[in-house]
Structure 1
Amino acid sequence: MGKVSCDITISLDGYSAGHHQTEERPFGDDGGDGSGAALHAWMFDAPEENRAEIARLNTAGAFVMGRNMFGPVRGAWDRPWNGWWGDDPPFHAPVFVLTHHPRAPRPMAGGTTFHFVTEGVTAALARARAAADEGDVTILGGATTVNQYLTAGLVDELRLHIAAFTLGSGTRLFDGVPPLNLRQLTSRPTSLVTHLTYRVLP
């Protein structure tokens, strides 16, 4: 069976998004235009020096994300909208979206299909494991979703990309998560971000 990893970019003070997410501003009050450009500049402004981490992002056999990572809390959920990911999302694998709102699966170009799971984090992970077969499963976020999986003890590996700025408020990683026993596996700084990988110990 493959491992379960969480892979998430956060600010130096631990936030994965600002408050007030909307369809037009997926990262809310993120200190910029709400596009997440500051948080994820390491991917787009410095791809060469972060090549290994970018290449690893979408290599899992299946993915899990929270509803807010698929689309905003308000405004677009009940209409036939494909979320923030465009017609050809980067995953090219099954993606299981945690939600309280049932919705039919949404197949996309490139092999991505969004499946909407209303039974909670354990059910979503079980479906992702089955879809991945023997492959890995990646929990993408946002922070609230990662926190639920960490709290439930369902994570084998935690991959953090810590951007070199602070947000001050928003959705924060580790909020409400009990103390974790971690072993650092890798640490690599680049100009815009520090990449950290931890094994989550029992």
Structure 2
Amino acid sequence: MPLVRVTNFAISLDGYGAGEPQSLEAPFGHAGMKLHEWRFATWRPGAPNGVDALFGRQYDVGFGAEIMGANKFGPPGWQDDPDWRGWWGEDPPFHTPTYVLTHRPREPLEMEGGTTFHFLSTSPADALAIAQEAAGDLDVRIGGGATTVRTFVAAGLVDHLHLAMVPLVLGRGTLLWEGLEGLEEQFHIESVVAPSGVVHLSLTRRSPDA
């Protein structure tokens, strides 16, 4: 059965998925790119082929569609710019139908490389049903940001999460764990510590009879 998954989602030690304030100049707020340096390091020539690289390579494996929140597609206010086409240029890295949750939907945006952005104003469950139909026999990725991941987890719609907990404290921003008390009762949790200090957390939904 196809799954609903989160992959390579970076959080700080205190559980923030982005800093604040987010803007065109600072997509991750005061966090800058610190939450994602572990992945960038694996792309450099001669980088170790270790734990971080192994997890990083799983980012886009096995997916047929993605769902993301409005703030992942653009900075606050992008809905007022009819020419805004996302952060990633004309060939975004998704290569699948990608569903952007926004209160102000617009016409689909077809990009190079197989990515088409669809803009939805609907519930998480309805958005997931649309994405699953597009994905067919492949999985659906919940791509973020933290609010979107948290919403889908709270609704019981996520089967597996891979979180990369980066060794830094942000102190403020968008919190992943808010309202998710008792999550360990719903998910089996494993962890692997990379030499970089990043803790890779794998959360797999427990079966009802487990």
TM-score, reference length from structure 2: 0.88
After superposition, residues 142-157 of structure 1 pair within 5 angstroms as 142-157=145-160
Corresponding residue for 1:3? 3
The one-letter code matched in structure 2 to 1:24 is E
CA distance, structure 2, for counterparts of residue 25 and residue 162 of structure 1:
21
8 Å CA contact retained: 2:79, 2:104: no
After superposition, residues 1-202 of structure 1 pair within 5 angstroms as 1-7=1-7, 8-30=9-31, 34=32, 37-47=33-43, 48-49=49-50, 50-59=52-61, 60-75=63-78, 77-180=80-183, 181=185, 182-185=187-190, 187-201=192-206, 202=208
Bigger helix share: 2
8 Å CA contact retained: 2:191, 2:199: no
CA distance, structure 1, for counterparts of residue 159 and residue 195 of structure 2:
25
The one-letter code matched in structure 1 to 2:36 is H
- What secondary structure is seen at the aligned counterpart in 2 of 1:5? strand
Supply the RMSD in Å over aligned alpha carbons.
Answer: 1.6
Query: Could you say if the C-alpha distance between residues 186 and 13 of structure 1 is closer, same or farther in structure 2, counting changes exceeding 3 Å?
Result: closer
Q: How far did 1:194 drift?
A: 1.7
Between the two proteins, the alignment pairs up a number of residues equal to: 197
Q: How far did 1:155 drift?
A: 0.7
Identity of aligned residues (%): 45
Q: How far did 1:2 drift?
A: 0.5
CA distance, structure 2, for counterparts of residue 42 and residue 194 of structure 1:
11
Provide Cα deviations, 1:30-73, integer angstroms capped at 9, x if missing partner: 1xxx3xx2110011123443222222111211111100011112
TM-score, reference length from structure 1: 0.91
The one-letter code matched in structure 2 to 1:44 is F
CA distance, structure 1, for counterparts of residue 195 and residue 100 of structure 2:
31
Provide Cα deviations, 1:15-43, integer angstroms capped at 9, x if missing partner: 1111111112100111xxx3xx2110011
The one-letter code matched in structure 2 to 1:26 is P
Gaps of 5+ in 1: none
The one-letter code matched in structure 2 to 1:46 is T
Q: How far did 1:78 drift?
A: 3.2
Provide Cα deviations, 1:145-174, integer angstroms capped at 9, x if missing partner: 011101100011111011111111000111
Based on CA coordinates, which of the two structures has the bigger radius of gyration?
2
105-114 vs 44-53, which moves further: 44-53
Q: How far did 1:178 drift?
A: 4.3
